[in-house]
Amino acid sequence: MQSSVKNYKANPVQMTKVISLEKGKLPPQAIEFEEAILGALMIDTRAIDELLQVFNNSDVFYKDCNKHVFEAIKVLSETSQPIDLLTVSNQLKQKGCLDLAGGDFYLVGLTQKIASSAHIEIHARIVLQKYMKRKAIQVASDIIELAYDDDTDVFHLFDYMDVETAKVNEIIEKGRSEMTYADALNAAVERVQMLTDSDNCLTGVDTGFKKLNKHFGGWQPTDFIVVGARPGMGKTAFVTNTMLGAAKAGDAVGFISLEMSTEQLATRTIANESNFHLNQLTKTGFEKPEYFSGLLRKVNELKSLPIFIDDRPALTIGEIKRKARLYKRKHDIKLLIVDYIQLAGSDGSEDIRVRVGKISNGLKAIAKELGITVIGLAQLSREVEKTSHKRPALHHLKESGDIEQDADAVCFIYRPAYYGLEVDYEVIDDDCNTEFIVAKYRHGGVGTIGLHYDENKTKFTDNEVKEELKDSYSSDVADIPKAMPKEAFYSIEDVSDNDDDDDNPF
């Protein structure tokens, strides 16, 4: 047993950094609670398990001697040895840091400061909160110092902020409340009751499609959804639809657009929500000036939707996480869309497969951390087009197998007409031209769902829809008069909807 202790490598203790503060101010600290925690650990071996649910990093302690004591206790716990006054003292002697820890007299004093470990979790959370405040002061102080340095790159400065914040998050992640098994069972019963009492199959964020709402129950919180396709299939068009569906249902949406500009996406939403064709909005303009009234009305409607877009190129996963947290804090987003995964930037010169794997892992982590749905678009490899039917499958995901592993659902968009192939109407409905393939779904079945794609408006719908001209171009356009059989060959200008000929100036 002794040999295992000697060979076990304890984490080096980092001395508490001196923080520059205004005269008379001390860093946030709770020394009495630190001592109570260490005393409780030495009089009750079981207390360590409860403490490690809150934090396991010695940096949380303010006093350096307390850090040494905690490291010794942690080594004893991890090597399955008893924890008491004598074993802790012996461990500190073996590491040559008993004097740094205050000596045996200090250890004896710790055990006399508390009678039991009954409140160790509460004490630990107080100590953790003090550490978080100290860390905030330290990071802010460092940032101010770096900001005054002319040699500091401003983007590296913000990266430093993100890295330091992430380090604190890793420590405090341990302290988050966990749902017990009993609570989880109760939550499951409540969910079933809610589904039973409701006529609506939607339990998550509106997908923008009735068929997908029925299959998925809406996009579910903490899920990472991957939608893959070859270029030209309509990946961005699809997520534009689902973005609008969620926003119109009242759920805020964040959109990380690594490919298109915010203006391009906004133009697509206009085409999606009106009868204007995309060519009219981007190339030709309107044939009649009066169409502008309909355009302005539609734009005013869309302005009220809770949609937030960041179109900066090559954002790293760290920057995406930072933006997602900001969106969640300021706007309480329920859905985050990333278009697309392979375009995200790198923190270094790492292999593209490693980079894409990190991005995929990071997007799933965002979904769990923020309790939102994350949809990541993914490019497929050219191997798809070497097959006779051109239909995508899981092994066609480009660059990384981690995407398939991390995703709760992997879906593909497949339009046979794009390749000049016939639509298989044994698979989808007659009024559809697109296969939405659910190739993996962690919470349910897989299969193919039929959708219809309108190329003129880059818009997906559940089925082919014949939309009327009215209400598309002008907000106050009159009903188009119906011609009688005898008037069938008259021009539309000759057909009057008023029987009073006196009103005709001609």
Task: Kindly list the catalytic residues.
Answer: 259
- In angstroms, the CA 377 to CA 294 distance is 32
* Strand-pair partners of 374: 224, 336
- In angstroms, the CA 105 to CA 282 distance is 80
Residue with tokens 């090559």: 314
- In angstroms, the CA 461 to CA 449 distance is 12
Cβ atoms of 431 and 423 within 8 Å: the answer is no
- In angstroms, the CA 330 to CA 417 distance is 43
- In angstroms, the CA 297 to CA 473 distance is 9
End-to-end CA distance of the chain: 111
CA separation, residue 71 to residues 13, 51, 66, 91 (Å): 8, 13, 9, 10
Cβ atoms of 3 and 51 within 8 Å: the answer is no
**Dihedral of the alpha carbons of 32, 35, 36, 40, in degrees to the nearest 10:** 180
Compute how many other C-beta atoms are within 10 angstroms of the C-beta atom of residue 297. Answer: 16
* Strand-pair partners of 226: 376, 410
- In angstroms, the CA 61 to CA 134 distance is 11
CA separation, residue 334 to residues 328, 337, 398 (Å): 8, 10, 27
Nearest to 360 by CA among 218, 176, 228, 167: 228
Residue with tokens 């039973």: 196
Cβ atoms of 360 and 401 within 8 Å: the answer is no
CA separation, residue 420 to residues 396, 423, 428 (Å): 21, 9, 17
